Amino acid sequence: MKLQKQPLFILVLLFILGILFQDKVVLSGTALYSPIVLCLVLLTAICFHSYFLHKVKVILLVLLFFGTGIILHYYNTSAANGDHISDKKETVIFKISQKLNSTAKYKKYEGIVQAGKTTFNSVLYVPAAFKELDFIHYYKAEAFVAKPKAPQYDFQFNYVQYLKRKGISYQIYISKEIVAEERNDVKLADQLRQYRLTVLQKIDQIKISGKTKEFLKGIILADRTELDAGTVQDFNKSGLVHFLAISGTHIVVIFGMFYFFLIRFTPIKWRKYAVIVSLVFIWLFAAFIGFGNSVLRSCIMLSVYFIFVLLQRKPDLLHSLALSAFFILIGDTQQIFDVGFQLSFLAVLGIYWLNQPLLKYFPKQDHYLKKLLFSTITLSVSAQLATLPLVLYYFHQFSFISIIANFVIVPFSEIIIVFSFIMTGFIASGIDFELMNKGYDFVIQILLKIIHWFAEADFLFFENIPMNGWEVLSISAAVYLLRPVILKFDFKSSMRLTMALVVFLMIRTGSNVFENQKEEILVYTYGKSRVFSVKTGSRAGFWVSDGRNEAKIIKYIINPYCAARRVDHFEIKSFSSFTKKVVFRGRIYNLK
């Protein structure tokens, strides 16, 4: 891919490399002056058109975008660093900015908190029995202010870093009465959040099953905070979680729905205004549901694409993708570390790279149903192949049933999204059609049962799949080299793909051997439970002090450990406070 053919895409990649460089190296103080001065000089030089500068303009642009990535990420990282407060009880005043997923014990929110003279962003934990908080009140309560704890070991999820990238450095636990006072500085964004909350509460009042209500909230209003754990697991295991989350598919369908109705009432010469009005509608919809990261990405990408159309320029998917990424990262460079950001852009790249070559192997698409069926298959395969390396790297699990599930469910997704959108519109308007409610409930219950059936195919579900960064790079290179093989199967292209796969297998085998040579003894704490583990070779034993937390310990400790240390087999046993020694594979270990 030459810079002359895809200049925007290459320059955005360099901008991203600058962000990654700053995140790892962390230039600051006087060390940061060099890229700032360099960028100013380069920007000035690029404006001149001398013969010499014209020859090196490509190099100047490369350095400019790389340096800009360094500078912007430095300032974004600096802005995220808050004041230091020691762990203690405080009387805090706060307002809510976002509702998070609830647990059995707490309702969770993100909010802006004032403790004494210090103001900061925090995650707030409110007892589940307390009344739901809203966006138009200030709240005052006595709370325990704490900094989140770093993980004990490298294989555990780093919640501290995750919060830090969102500009959050504290957690607040509220246990006593909360005093509310109406705000007099409610902004438009807060009013939209409050209206969305009102619509969510209206959905709770209609006579449909609880799971259908939760599904409707998630698929249209991007609220999965009360979603049943079993339903979430079904969507994850069936590979259909993208269907539940507001993503590009939802935004495109909603845009298409508005556009379809508008062109029915406008003359042909005004069709371009129908596009503009439809774009305005999806941005208003995005504002209404809170400008979530995935929604914002989808709206920007769709808007950039149709701006090319309106300007009568040939739409280029890579240009649209690059501009979208650039706009998002200029606003917040931390977005590059968001898993959803990475997977969504990789999925689009996969579709760009593999979809058309795969379609050539199908019969001619001379009918709408054929086009829908074949496109669904190729789009799904392209996106899944492109994102598979990162899915394995982050989640260490994959289900082959997801391929079949996507073929079955995705063709009907447009109908489900439109039906859900109309339902939400009626509910928000206070219109209650009992027949429609029953019909929607019936359809969604069947959908959820089908997804649950797919999720139960455990023999096709694999977890604790190890994958490190080098393996991701090597298998991603193989996916990249797959296109020439699909387009024209010859010796040269097939040998390149074979070599990439051989390199991947060599790296994987070496990583397995390296990890299996280690012996490791670790002690963990999870709540009030203690866990003791011993690893020898590719086998590990875990001793758990409290069996009541076993399911969570498997999810948050044992599975991540097995994936990181490439453990093929593990055993779980219990031990009491009186246990002094344990035996594993013929050896005795002392518990201290």
Determine which helix (DSSP H) or strand (DSSP E) holds 90, and give its type and residue range.
Answer: strand 88-99
Three-state SS letters, 558-578: HHHHHHHHCCCEEEEEECCCC
For 463, other C-beta atoms within 10 Å of its C-beta total 14
Centroid of chain to Cα 297:
11
Centroid of chain to Cα 272:
33
537 and 164 in contact (C-beta within 8 Å)? no
Q: Average pLDDT of the chain?
A: 84
What is the pLDDT at residue 488?
A: 87
DSSP symbols for 518-555: -EEEEEEEETTEEEEEEEETTEEEEEES-GGGHHHHII
Report pLDDT digits (tens) over 26-40.
666 556 556 666 666
Judged against a pLDDT cut of 90, whether residue 83 lies above it is answered with no
546 and 528 in contact (C-beta within 8 Å)? yes
For 192, other C-beta atoms within 10 Å of its C-beta total 17
**Beta-sheet strands, E only, within 475-528:** 519-526
Judged against a pLDDT cut of 50, whether residue 1 lies above it is answered with no
Report pLDDT digits (tens) over 347-365.
889 988 998 899 888 887 7
Distance CA 105, CA 459 (A): 34
Q: Pairing between strand 569-574 and 539-544?
A: parallel
Share of the chain above pLDDT 70, in %: 91
Q: For residue 107, give the nearest of 76, 131, 74 by alpha carbon.
A: 131
The burial class, CB within 10 Å (0-12 / 13-18 / 19+), for 210 is: exposed
For 153, other C-beta atoms within 10 Å of its C-beta total 12
Instruction: Output the pTM of the full model.
Output: 0.86
130 and 84 in contact (C-beta within 8 Å)? no
Report pLDDT digits (tens) over 485-498.
998 888 899 999 99
Determine which helix (DSSP H) or strand (DSSP E) holds 102, and give its type and residue range.
Answer: none
What is the pLDDT at residue 484?
A: 92
Q: Pairing between strand 569-574 and 581-584?
A: unpaired
Averaged pLDDT for residues 1-21: 78
Averaged pLDDT for residues 170-194: 88
What is the pLDDT at residue 292?
A: 76
Distance CA 148, CA 150 (A): 7
Report pLDDT digits (tens) over 147-159.
888 888 888 889 8
Between these two residues, 271 and 451, which has the higher pLDDT value?
A: 451
| Domain range list for the chain | 7-80, 88-186, 197-463, 469-515, 518-590
138 and 183 in contact (C-beta within 8 Å)? yes
Pinpoint the alpha helices (H) of 311-433.
317-331, 339-359, 368-395, 401-409, 413-428
Residue showing tokens 């914002």: 296
Report pLDDT digits (tens) over 392-406.
999 998 888 888 888
Q: For residue 347, give the nearest of 209, 241, 465, 201 by alpha carbon.
A: 241
Distance CA 448, CA 456 (A): 12
316 and 3 in contact (C-beta within 8 Å)? no
What is the pLDDT at residue 54?
A: 59
Backbone angle region of 143, left / alpha / beta, with phi > 0 → left and psi within -120 to 50 → alpha: beta
Averaged pLDDT for residues 440-447: 92
Averaged pLDDT for residues 211-219: 90
Determine which helix (DSSP H) or strand (DSSP E) holds 140, and give its type and residue range.
Answer: strand 137-146
Helix (H/G/I), strand (E/B), else coil: 583: strand
Distance CA 552, CA 421 (A): 36
Report pLDDT digits (tens) over 502-515.
999 999 999 999 99
For 277, other C-beta atoms within 10 Å of its C-beta total 14
What is the pLDDT at residue 466?
A: 93
The yes/no answer on whether domain 88-186 falls in CATH 2.60.98 is no
